[in-house]
Structure 1
Amino acid sequence: MKLKTLIKKYNSANLVLRIAIAIVLGSLLGVILPSQKWIGEFGTLFVSALKAIAPVLVFILIVCSLASGKSHLDRRFGRVALLYLTSTLVASLVAMVANFIFPQKLDLANAFGASAAPSGIAEVMHNLLIHAVSNPFAAIVEANYIGILVWSACLGFAIKKIASETTLSVLKDLTASVSLVVRWIINLAPIGIMGVVFISVSTNGIGIFKTYGSLILILVVTMFFMAFVVVPAIVGVMLRRDPYPLVLKCFKSSAVTAFFTRSSAANIPVNMALCKKLGLDSEFYSVSIPLGATINMSGAAITITVMTLATVHTLGIPVTMSSALAVCFLATLGACGTSGVAGGSLLLIPLACTPFGISSDVAMQVVAVGFIIGVIQDSLETALNSSTDVIFTATAEYRAWQKQGKPLPKEFFREHGTEEH
C-alpha cells in the first residue's frame, strides 16, 4: 500500500518540479558518491529507451497521420522548413559577429585525436540523399530520420489510397499504444535525468572551465542570445504577438530534457507530447518535428562558426567579410547535414575551415577540443536545436490559424484590441 501511495504521489507531482529535484539530487550524488557508477545506469537506461522508441513513434505517427488524415502537406510545411533554415543561417551570422567582437584563441597543444570528418559539402549532401533512400527497416533500427520521413510518407500516402477502414482502425490503435509507451517513459524522466546528471558531474567536474572557460562562455552567450532574443523576434514577426509566453513554455518543457539527454532524437517523443499539449495538428507535427531534428540546427551552426573562427584567430589568418560569410554559408549547410547525431556538428568544422586553407590535421585538433568541452557545448546545442523544433512548428501552425481567422491560444497570446490577421 505504501508503494502504491508513493507512486501515486510521484505521478501527481508536476513533471518540471520532479526534474528540478532530480537535477539537484543527481548533482549532490555526483559530488558525494562519484564512485557509485550504478546510479548513472538510470540515465543510460532512460536515454537508451527514448532513442529506441523515437524512430518507431515517428514512423507509425507519420504513416497513421497521412493514411487517415483529411489534410495534405500544405503551406505549413513550407513555412516551418523556411523557419528552420532561416534560424540556422541567422545563428551562424550571430556567431560570426560575436567572434569579431570577442575573438577567441585555442590551446591546440592539449587536443587529441578525433573521428574522420566529411571531405566537403558534396559528401554531406550525398550522405543525406543516400540516407533518404536507405532500407526502411534499417532506417528505423539506425534512427535515420531522413529515411524514416521518406518511407513513412510514401507508405502513408499509399495506405490512404487503398486501405480499408479496418486497416486504418488498426493503425490508430497501434499509434495510441506506442504513444502510451512513450508517456510511460517520459514519466520516468526525473529518475533518468538524475542518472544523467550524476554521470556528468562525477566524470567531468568543473575542470574544463579552467582551460576553455572563454570559449565556453562565448558559446553559452551566443546560444542564449539566439534562444531568448533572435528566436522570439522571429516568432513575434511571424505572429505579430508577444512571443515570450510561447517561447518560454517550449524552452521549459523541451529544452530541459534535451539539455541533459544531449540527443535530439531522444527528445522527439518529448517534443511531440508538447505539441499535443499546445493543441497542434498531429498530421503536421508528426512530420515537422522529426524534420526539425534533421535540418533545424541553430546550435550546430553556432558551434561550427565559433570553433572555425577561433581556429582562424589562433593561426593569425586575416578574416575578410567574404571569407567570414563563406564560413556562415558552410556552417548552415553543414549543420543541416548533422541529422541530430551527438557530436556531429564538430565533424563539420574541417569543412568550414576550407575557405582559409587550414589543413585537416589542424582542423581535427579543433574537433578534439570540441569533444573536450562537449559536456557543455553539446548540451546547450541540443537544447537550442530541439526546443526550437516545437517553437517553429507552433509558429507555423498558429500562423495558419490566423489566416483562417481562428483565435490563438489565450494561454500564450492575450488579445489587445481587435484580432490581427
Structure 2
Amino acid sequence: MKKFGLLPKIIAAIILGIIAGNIAPEPVIRFFATFNGLFGGFIGFAIPLIIIGFIAPGISQIGKGAGKLLGLTILFAYGSTVLAGLLAYTAGSQLLPGFISGSTLQNMENPEEFLLEGFFKVEMAPVMGVMTALLFAFVLGIGTAAVNAAALQRVLEDFRSIIEKLITVIIIPLLPFHIFGIFANMTFGGQVQDILSIFARVFLLIILLHFTMLLIQFTASGLLTRSNPLKLFKTMLPAYFTALGTQSSAATIPVTLRQVKTTSVKSKIADFSVPLLATIHLSGSTITITSLGMGVMLLHGDMPILSSMLPFIFMLGITMIAAPGVPGGAVVAASGLFMSMLGFSETMVTLMIALYLAQDSFGTAANVTGDGALTMLLNRFSKNDHHDSVSS
C-alpha cells in the first residue's frame, strides 16, 4: 500500500465506507465506531503536542533571520494568508448557505443522534488545553529566538521531528481507516449522500477561490515588476503540478526555486524567501480550511459570522507554521482551533479532516504557486537593499 499516495487511499476509504455502510450489519459498524472513538481520542491528546511541535521551532527559526527581507517576507506571507481567509469567508458567507439550505439534513445539528457509538470508550485527556499549548509555543519560540538559546533550539527541532514522525507514521497512515469508519457510520445513519452532494459544490468553489487568489497575487507582482501576470503564472505552473503530486510545499521547494530563478528574481532573494515561504505562506490551505470549516458549521446548524471567523483566520495563519512539511499537516495542526474557537465536536473535526485531505493537493499547489508571486514582490521591494542579511 505504500506505493499509493494519500489521496487515492482517502478516496478509496470514502467509497468503501459508503459500500460498507449499506451492506454491513450493525456490529461491524460498531466495531469501526470503537476504533474511531479510540483514534479520535488519540488525535485530541496529540493536538497540543502538535501545536507546540510545529509552532515553537517555527517561530524560533524565523527569529534567526535578519534585515528588512525577513520582515517583508513575514509581512507578505501573513498578509496573503489572512487575505485568502477573508476571501474565502466573503465568498462562503454569500454562497455556502445556499448550498446547504437546499439539502435535507434534519439530523445533522446533533450528529450523535444518527451515528452509532462504539462498544467502549477510553478517555485520553490531553496534557494541556489548546490555548495553553498555543501560548506555551509562542513563549518558547519567541524566547528561544530572543536569547539565542542554541541548545533549546536543538531540543525544539528534535521535538518537531518526533511530532512529524507521529503524524507520518501513525496518524496519517491510520486516517484512511478512521475515514472509512466515519463514512460507513454516516451511510448507516442515512446522511452521507447529502453530505457528498453538498461538498462536491464546495470543492468547486474552493478551487475557483484558489485561482482567484493566485490572480490577485500575480496581478500585484506583475504590476509592481512591470511584467505580464499571465506569463509569470505560466512560469510557476511546473511548481503547481509538482505540488499536486507531492501534497507537500516543502517537497516542492527545488522546483519552486528553479522556476522563480528563471524570472528576474536574484538568486540570494529566492534562496532565502522560497524555503521560508514554503513554511509560513498558506493562502491556498487557508481558503480550503476556512471554506470547509464554514460548510461543516452550516451543516450542523451553526451560522458562521465574521466576529467568530476573523479571529479564527488570524490564528490559523500562525498555527499552521511549519505544517506544510507534512502532507495533511495543516488541517491536523488546525484541529485545535476548530474545537476551541469554532466549537467543533470530535465528529465535526473528523469530517473536516476527511474533506480536507480529499483535496489537500490543490491547496498545497496554490500555496507554492503563490510563493513564486510573493518572491517576485520581495525582489522588487528589496532590489536596493544589497547590504541586508538574508541568512536563514
TM-score between the two structures when normalised by the length of structure 2: 0.57
Matches within 5 A, 1:8-407: 73-103=66-96, 105=100, 119-124=129-134, 126-127=136-137, 129=140, 133-135=153-155, 138=158, 212-228=199-215, 230-236=216-222, 238-239=224-225, 241-250=227-236, 252-336=237-321, 338-347=323-332, 348-359=334-345, 361-370=346-355, 374-375=357-358, 377-401=359-383
Shift of 1:304: 2.0
Cα distance in 2 for residues equivalent to 1:284 and 1:140: 27
Q: Which amino acid aligns with 2:73?
A: V
Tell me: CA distance 1:135–1:327, structure 2 relative to 1, closer, same or farther (3 Å). closer
Alignment partners' CA distance in 1, 2:156 and 2:375: 25
**Change in 2 beyond 3 A, CA 1:111/1:211:** farther
User: What are the Cα deviations for residues 389-409 of structure 1, in whole angstroms up to 9, with x where unaligned?
Assistant: 2221122113333789xxxxx
Shift of 1:344: 1.8
Could you tell me whether the CA contact under 8 Å between 1:112 and 1:365 is conserved in 2?
no
Contact in 2 for aligned 1:236/1:242 (Cα 8 Å): yes
Distance in 2, matches of 1:287 and 1:366, equals 37
SS in 2 for 1:336: coil
In structure 2, what residue type is equivalent to 1:98? A
Structure 1 partner of 2:150 = none
Deviation at 1:214, TM superposition (A): 1.6
Which amino acid counterpart does residue 224 of structure 1 have in structure 2? F
Give CA-to-partner distance per residue, 1:4-61, whole Å, 9 cap, x none. Answer: xxxxxxxxxxxxxxxxxxxxxxx9xxxxxxxxxxxxxxxxxxxxxxxxxxxxxxxxxx
Closer/same/farther in 2, CA of residues 97 and 259 from structure 1, 3 Å limit: same
Q: Does the 8 Å contact 1:88/1:296 carry over to 2? A: yes
- In structure 2, stretches of 5+ residues that fail to align are 1-7, 9-60, 119-123, 146-152, 165-192, 387-392
Deviations 1:353-383 (A, max 9, x none): 5344333x23323334325xx24x2111110
Does the 8 A contact of 1:121 with 1:330 survive in 2?
Answer: no
Over aligned residues, Cα RMSD in angstroms? 4.0
CA contact (8 A) 2:214 2:366 kept: yes
Q: Percent identity?
A: 24
Q: TM-score, normalised by structure 1?
A: 0.53
SS in structure 2 of the partner of residue 358 of structure 1: coil
Measured after TM superposition, the shift of residue 222 of structure 1 is: 1.5
Q: Give distance in 1, aligned partners of 2:132 and 2:292.
A: 21
> How far, CA to CA, are the matches of 1:280 and 1:73 in structure 2?
20
Give me the whole-angstrom Cα distance separating, in 2, the residues matched to 1:383 and 1:354: 28
Confirm or deny: 8 A CA contact 1:121 1:334 kept in the other structure.
no
Name the SS for the 1:102 alignment partner: helix
Going from structure 1 to structure 2, the CA distance change for 1:280 and 1:142 (only over 3 Å counts) comes to farther
Hey, what's the Cα distance between the residues in 1 that align with 2:135 and 2:243?
A: 26
Contact 1:258 1:383 in 2 (8 A): yes
1:308 Cα deviation from its structure 2 partner:
1.8
C-alpha distance in structure 1 between counterparts of 2:269 and 2:92, whole Å: 37
Deviation at 1:338, TM superposition (A): 2.6
Give the whole-Å Cα distance in 1 for the aligned partners of 2:212 and 2:117: 31
Q: How many residues align?
A: 267
CA contact (8 A) 1:239 1:399 kept: no
